[in-house]
Structure 1
Amino acid sequence: MSIMTQLEFELEFSQSEKQIAKYILNHGEEVLSMSVKELAKETYTSPATIVRLCKKIGLEGYNDFKIKYSAELQYDLHHTDRIDVNFPFSKDDSYPMICHKLSSLYQEVIADTIKLIDFTELNKIVDLLYPHQHIDIYGSGNSLLAAMSFQHKMMRISRDVNLRILHGEQVFMSYNSNSSRIAMIISYSGETNENIQIAQTLKENNTPIIVLTSVGDNRLSHYADYILNIGSREKIFTKIAPFASQISIEYLFNVIFSCIFQKDYEQNIQNKISYDKKNDFRHPLSSPVSDEIK
């Protein structure tokens, strides 16, 4: 996760650390000109508390924080023409403007996600998934919507993708897992306690784990055998909806499906066309979207 996202998330922060985090988020670039003593004075805390907070979010200390936080702010400054992934439209935008802004958002998020893909890692993930018939997906909320679409596509190429949406069922599924199954865990923050518990159990059961999560250090990534990164410009709480993370996750699932599909391309095409001609009755023969049936 980015520094700003971690500060907003406030994972296991003390009250004093939360106070420092809020000040940094509210004052942005102004903080970069402050010494640790000056920031401590402004937040009614101590230099030791500030250093402890920096280490808690994976940094070496206050100087390391200033360098990396400055880089994040500079990135945002140099991309002012980009869509705000957290608030991609305003209350005053017309409907056509909202349409165009969301279109730009899709393009930007996918472009960001492509840059994050380690293609060597992707090859390993596809090679791992290809021969396996049983894949279990773990996640919650909006991430499961993308997973359900992936499940539907994979079913068409004879892959059994398991999803559990009732509370507690995913934990139970992880207890029943073993080395013959593949686990995919989706978590933007990488800090959801239930996902951490599931990852620990899967590790104990020797189940290979593929993690889809945001860039940066988080607890879930420590359990991963393979990682694909989700675009990480989206905030945890301060946003209209999880537009960006949803787009990024769905894109990664589509990439994985497409790479697996390609391995038996001709056979998969023929199987799908044959199945659809026999079983898909959604469109009358006169429909312009219907293929010519021979």
Structure 2
Amino acid sequence: MNIRTQLELEDHFTDSEKEIARYILTNGKDVVKDSISTLAEKTYTSPATIVRLTKKIGLEGYNDFRIRYSAELEKLSLSDNEIDVNFPFTKESSYEEIMNNLILLSHQTLEHTKSLLDEKVLQKVVKMMKKARIIDLYGTENSLLAAALFQNKMTRIGKNVDMRSLDGSQTFLASASAPDHLAIVISYSGETENVIRWVKILKSKHTPLIAITSLGDNQLSRYADIIISTDTREKLFHKIAPFSSILSIEYILSVIYCCYFQEDYDGHLDHKISFDKMSDKRPAHLLKDEND
């Protein structure tokens, strides 16, 4: 898990450690320029408390934190013309600015996500999908919306894809899994308690597992056979909405669908058209006119 995510989670932090974490998150690059005594003074804490916090998130001390956090911020940094994924508009923004910023945000998110995709990894994913008797999707809240769209597309070309919306049902789904299934697990943080419970069950069932998660180390990635990274510029909590993360996940799933579709382009297209005609409730004469 990256440093920023750990600071946001505040897992087992004392009140003083929470104050330090929130100050670091708010002040970004400026923090890494500060000495430990300066940071202690600014957060009304002590150097010893800062050291304890850095060790609590798996670092060796404050100097290690400055080096690693600086590198992390560089990787996630925005260029001058990029939209802030967490706050793409302000309370002063006009409707026109909101519309324009969201278009730019979408474009930039897709470009960032594309830069993280690897053709060889996609080839492995498609091979696993073709081999699997059933593909099971796992996720929580917003990620399930993207998963549902993927399931709908895959079902229309004849691939058996299963997903459940309730946490308890997903536990049952994992418990019923097998080596001839394929699990696609979606979690932006990769640290959600329910998600980790499911992947542990899936590993006990020897089910191949693809993780779609944020860039960097997290619990989910440690259980995955294949990791696909999302755009990771979005914060967990301090944001208006998950604009970037959901768009990134939807794009990844759409790319996976298209790559799978292409493996049997004509067959999948015939199956989809046949499925759509069979499920379309419009009068037959309208369908005939559409196809003429």
TM-score (norm 1): 0.89
Matched residue, 1:81? 81
- Alignment-mate amino acid for residue 172 of structure 1: F
Q: Is 1:293 paired with 2:274?
A: no
State the match for 1:156 in structure 2. 156
Describe the shift of the 1:160–1:78 C-alpha distance in structure 2 as closer, same or farther (beyond 3 A): closer
Specify the alignment match of 2:203 in structure 1. 203
Structure 2 CA distance for partners of 1:208 and 1:150, relative to 1, 3 Å: same
Normalized against structure 2, the TM-score is what? 0.90
In structure 1, the residue matched to 2:107 is: 107
**Structure 1 residues 245-273: Cα deviation after superposition (integer angstroms, max 9, x where no partner):** 10000001101111111000011112222
Taking a change above 3 Å as real, the CA distance of residues 174 and 76 of structure 1, as seen in their structure-2 partners, is closer
CA distance in 1, matches of 2:172, 2:280: 36
Distance 1:283 1:5 in 2: 53
Range with bigger deviation, 161-170 or 38-47: 38-47
Q: Greater helix percent: which structure?
A: 2
Cα distance in 1 for partners of 2:77, 2:137 equals 37
Alpha-carbon spacing, 1:87–1:194, altered in 2? closer, same or farther (3 Å): same
Residue 2 of structure 1 contacts residue 232 of structure 1 at CA under 8 Å; is this kept in 2?
no
Partners of 1:9 and 1:119 lie apart in 2 by: 33
TM-superposed CA distance for 1:46, in Å, is 4.2
Which 4+ runs in 1 deviate beyond 4 A? Answer: 72-78, 281-287
- Name 2:259's counterpart in structure 1: 259
After TM superposition, the structure 1 stretch with the greater mean CA deviation from structure 2, 221-230 or 12-21, is 12-21
Cα shift readout 1:64-116 (whole Å, capped 9, x = no counterpart): 32123334555676613211111112223232322221111111001000111
Alignment partners' CA distance in 2, 1:43 and 1:98 = 35
Question: In the superposition, relative to structure 1, how do residues 282 and 101 fare at CA in structure 2: closer, same or farther (>3 Å)?
Answer: farther
What SS does the aligned partner of 1:130 have?
Answer: helix
TM-aligned CA deviation for residue 274 of structure 1: 3.3
Alignment correspondent of 1:119: 119
Change (3 A) 1:155 1:97: same
Aligned-partner SS, 2:157: coil
Tell me the distance in 1 between the aligned counterparts of 2:78 and 2:213: 25
Q: Distance in 1 between matches of 2:159 and 2:140?
A: 22
Preserved CA contact (<8 Å) 1:137 1:147: yes
Does the CA contact (< 8 Å) of 1:133 and 1:158 recur in 2? no
CA distance in 1 between partners of 2:77 and 2:229 (Å)? 23
- The one-letter code sitting in structure 1 at the alignment partner of 2:271 is N
Tell me how far apart the structure 2 counterparts of residues 203 and 293 of structure 1 sit (CA, whole Å): 47
TM-superposed deviation, 1:55: 3.9
Partner of 2:33: 33
| Counterparts in 2 of 1:44 and 1:200: CA distance versus 1, 3 Å | same
Match in the other structure for 1:187: 187
* Identity value in percent: 50
Compared CA separation, residues 149 and 38, structure 1 to 2 (3 A): same
Cα separation, 2, equivalents of 1:85 and 1:209: 29
Q: Deviations over 1:164-203 (max 9, x none)?
A: 1123111122122121211111111111111111111111
Change (3 A) 1:277 1:198: closer
Shift of 1:134: 0.6
